[in-house]
Structure 1
Amino acid sequence: MIGGLLFDDRVATDVFAIVQPADFYHRAHREIFAQAMRLHAAGEPIDVVTLGDAARDDGHTTLVGEIAAEVYSAANVAAYARIVADWSRRRAVVTACRQAIDAAGRTDAGELIADLSARLESAGERAIGESLSWRDVLSRMVDEIERSSNAAEDGVIGVRTRIPMLDRALGGLCPQRLIVLAARPSIGKTALANQIAVNAARDGVPGGICSLEMGDAELSARAMAYHCKANLTRLLRGRDDALSAMIRGMEQDDPTPWPLHLDISTYSLTGIEARITSWKRNHGIRFAIVDHIGLVEVEGNVSTYDRVSLVSRRLKKLAKRLDIAILAVCQLNRGPERERRRPTLGDLRDSGNIEQDIDVGVFLHVDPDDLEDQPAPVQVGFLKNRTGRRGWERTPLMFDGQHQTLSERADYCDEDM
């Protein structure tokens, strides 16, 4: 295949669309091919002289000459490229299986399966993405605009959160978007994420929650406190009045059939990717919530900065690949508390490249003087929003911690009356 490139570099575009340097088994071939790609990107010809010179620092000039001497045609080079790519995927499958075998004696079975599933799926992916003609691009754009025009009058085209402020600003949880919900602890970010999930489930929209912080009992109790207007603290302590409120609420609107799925035991990034992929394949989920990304584990000894960067980047890719919305809950650093100010994008804890990866950044903030209020006024800021308005909302949401509910002020007053 490399010899075909040296014979006629007009086939380079076809080859580079199929094969990447990492697809080669031998390091020397990887390095030579990488130099060929650099020459092509720079608009330089690829032949035995230019490539031999480019490969000089790696010590492969003689090997380039030997490869060139063995090939007399560029015919069938695309077919050779597909063979190289196929064997690369086979090696990836073998590696994934060997790693699973090595880990089998010390890893939980569920996490082992999830990790292997994610690795096998990754091995099956192409090295590069889909190539579209401009005609295809325009057709997809028209289809998207048509879907938007057929949406409700309020312009919501994604999964409805049933919180007017969010739906107006975001158009709902739209597919292929990574949305970060960020706040300091105890401000209501998990309550808001759960409220969005419950509202979507009430509408019959399938979704999933990967909860790395809470168990299933606490998470479901919080959901029922919101759904049934039951006091969360009294519910968790088994008080009769709260249990009665929950029973009445469940009788009025049975939550049992909700298409909502929960994972509370997967912490690795590959496992979370596999779980969400499985939910999409088996249940057709339209959104997933990861709470929270600071607890997601990745392989290798990497810094917190690099770990969060890796998590945000792969969650964004996952949202695009599965065509779903992913809502990632994130903690802020202590800066806003110490300086008694609203948070900024830079306050994302150990943020890494998360600011670049996300499509939407929804920030919650409670003024220190209002922390003890019940309900507490929560200021909402859309500090990043690729397709909508940005800035802090004038009217706060009212956070009723007892009932795990965030409401717009008018809505809250109506309910209170």
Structure 2
Amino acid sequence: MSDNTVTDLRATPSHEETTDGKLVRQPPRNEEVEAALLGAILRNNRAYERIADVLRPEYFFAPEHQKIYTLIKRMIDAGQEARPTTLQHMVDADEALKSVGGSEYLYELAANVVTVINATDYANTIADLYLKRELIQLGEDTVNDAYDMDFDETAERQIERVEHRLYNLATTGEIDRGVTTLKEAAYNALVHAEEAFKRDSHVVGVTSGFRDIDNMLGGLHPSDLIILAARPAMGKTALVTTIAYNAAKAYRQFEDETGKVIEEGGKVLFFSLEMSADQLAGRILSGEAKVSGDKIRRGEIDQEEFTQIARAAQELAKAPLFIDDTPGLSITGMRQRSRRVKRQHGLHMIIVDYLQLLSGPPEKKNDNRVQEVSEITRGLKMLAKELEVPVIALSQLSRQVENREDKRPQLADLRESGSIEQDADVVSFIYRPEYYLQREHPEMRPNEPQEKYLERVQNHEQRLAESRNVAEYIIAKQRHGPVGTVELFFDNDYARFGDLDRHHGGDGF
């Protein structure tokens, strides 16, 4: 080890001359910095507290330094002091460490340290050089994979895998945000409360466009993962499409009296894994023009309806709603596309229709679907936090709903993975009693009096009439607010939801 009291933070030159005079590239590293950091920790264990979140054993280049740091980490994490004296017996028992001097090397590391002030700088340098070595390895692997003539492995798939590795590398060793004082947290909460107070809607996040849903949720909040689940034919795609368009249509930017830029509504990215972009746009067009989607598809419209459609299309063109209908998309590909849209256009909300059509990360192919769904929901939550936008993901429900007398969904009905409930900030369901009541016309029971049967029929028809065009939006879990049920208006002709006002007979459209 050098006797200098100042350790050069620069990496060892990347070229070294071999015996035959040729220059050979060497991986970037700085073993003097590694030794200086280990010595600083051995001299004062408090230095470890400053770098523990930054540094892992594999970040060190020298194998002996990896082993020594592992022993130090194990000792300190166990609440014991890591000194040359306490580590001596473990180091001397390791044949690989004996070759570099064993316990004598530990004493040398500690003796050559002048100060522990630079421990954080040393750790950052070691981590940076590790990332550069990993980038070099990633580049080499990418080249080798591209040369490999495996026709089942498409270039697009390779790009997704490389992008995922790059993302993992970019987030490797991220320093924890650290503690926040109550004073800072209270100030931030006050800012959010002030923003909500100044807005007429009192919504902090992105609006859903539905009065009662916004009242229950306070808007769709950044970094939240919101699961919307239902059985087929309940209208979950119709609801989330309406939410997407409502938010995009409401988007505007303005300055308050202090000059601060305020944004309402939001720019929305819609991942439509089941329907094409044209089909999705057709649904929105049908709802806005109030012309049946079936009539539009078959061309059975008159001049007045065509005028309504054209006018609605002009309104749709103004909304910042982006649709990605790439089939078979992976969570990695979704992250890549979302970052691109945010960089190029700005982004305030992401919608995924639907979760079960996504695939997990390319390098984590697993036959266990439950585990894969867990990876997907975890990835969606990470995406929401990374881009600081709400992510709404649709999900299927298991068939056990159909076997119950009360068909209202429950948290236990979430299909394939308990991690959906665990990772989500909000879990909500759509339930339309009209759908089931239409299929449950009372049959006359054996030996049942005619009057009793007619009474049951009358009750059924009354329930059917009360449930007509009514949908229940059930909030079964909300991490930061109340749970409960909101009633919405549903128009099956236009596949469109709206606010329900039973007292005035309006639908909010």
- SS at 2:247 equivalent: helix
Aligned residues of 1:159 and 1:173 also touching (Cα < 8 A): yes
C-alpha deviations, 1:157-194, integer Å up to 9, x for none?
11111111211111111111111111112211111111
- Partners of 1:325 and 1:14 lie apart in 2 by 33
C-alpha deviations, 1:257-303, integer Å up to 9, x for none?
32111111161111111111122222111101011111211132332
- Paired residues in the alignment total 413
Is 1:380 aligned to 2:473, yes or no? yes
- SS at 1:172 equivalent: coil
Aligned to 1:245: 305
TM-score w.r.t. the length of structure 1 is: 0.86
- Partners of 1:35 and 1:377 lie apart in 2 by 64
Aligned residues of 1:181 and 1:361 also touching (Cα < 8 A): yes
- Partners of 1:350 and 1:112 lie apart in 2 by 28
- Partners of 2:42 and 2:197 lie apart in 1 by 52
- Partners of 1:198 and 1:101 lie apart in 2 by 43
Which of the residues 400, 406, 409 maps onto 1:335? 400
Aligned to 2:188: 140
C-alpha deviations, 1:117-152, integer Å up to 9, x for none?
454344223433322541543432332232233232
Is 1:7 aligned to 2:49, yes or no? no
Q: Report the CA distance shift for 1:321/1:129 in structure 2 as closer, same or farther (over 3 A).
A: farther
* Residue 246 of structure 1, CA deviation: 5.7
Aligned residues of 1:53 and 1:61 also touching (Cα < 8 A): no
- SS at 1:240 equivalent: coil
- Partners of 2:505 and 2:491 lie apart in 1 by 12
Aligned to 1:274: 336
Aligned residues of 1:214 and 1:264 also touching (Cα < 8 A): yes
- SS at 1:262 equivalent: strand
Q: What is the one-letter code of the residue matched to 1:365?
A: Y
Deviates more, 1:163-172 or 1:30-39: 30-39
Which of the residues 206, 215, 218 maps onto 1:168? 215
Q: Report the CA distance shift for 1:22/1:178 in structure 2 as closer, same or farther (over 3 A).
A: farther
Superposition pairs of residues 35-50 of structure 1, within 5 angstroms:
36-48=72-84, 50=86
Aligned to 2:449: none
Q: What is the one-letter code of the residue matched to 1:370?
A: L
Larger Rg: 2
Which of the residues 89, 96, 106 maps onto 2:131? 89
Q: Report the CA distance shift for 1:52/1:240 in structure 2 as closer, same or farther (over 3 A).
A: farther
Is 1:362 aligned to 2:428, yes or no? yes
- Partners of 1:365 and 1:191 lie apart in 2 by 13
- SS at 1:255 equivalent: helix
- Partners of 1:230 and 1:31 lie apart in 2 by 71
- Partners of 1:31 and 1:146 lie apart in 2 by 53
Q: What is the one-letter code of the residue matched to 1:256?
A: A
Which of the residues 98, 101, 106 maps onto 1:68? 106
Q: What is the one-letter code of the residue matched to 1:178?
A: L
- Partners of 2:234 and 2:379 lie apart in 1 by 27
- SS at 1:160 equivalent: coil
Is 1:313 aligned to 2:407, yes or no? no
* Residue 10 of structure 1, CA deviation: 1.2
Which of the residues 501, 505, 508 maps onto 1:410? 501
Q: Report the CA distance shift for 1:339/1:287 in structure 2 as closer, same or farther (over 3 A).
A: same
TM-score w.r.t. the length of structure 2 is: 0.72
* Residue 330 of structure 1, CA deviation: 0.9
Aligned to 1:353: 419
Is 1:208 aligned to 2:269, yes or no? yes
Aligned residues of 1:31 and 1:58 also touching (Cα < 8 A): no
Aligned to 1:289: 351
- Partners of 1:319 and 1:57 lie apart in 2 by 48
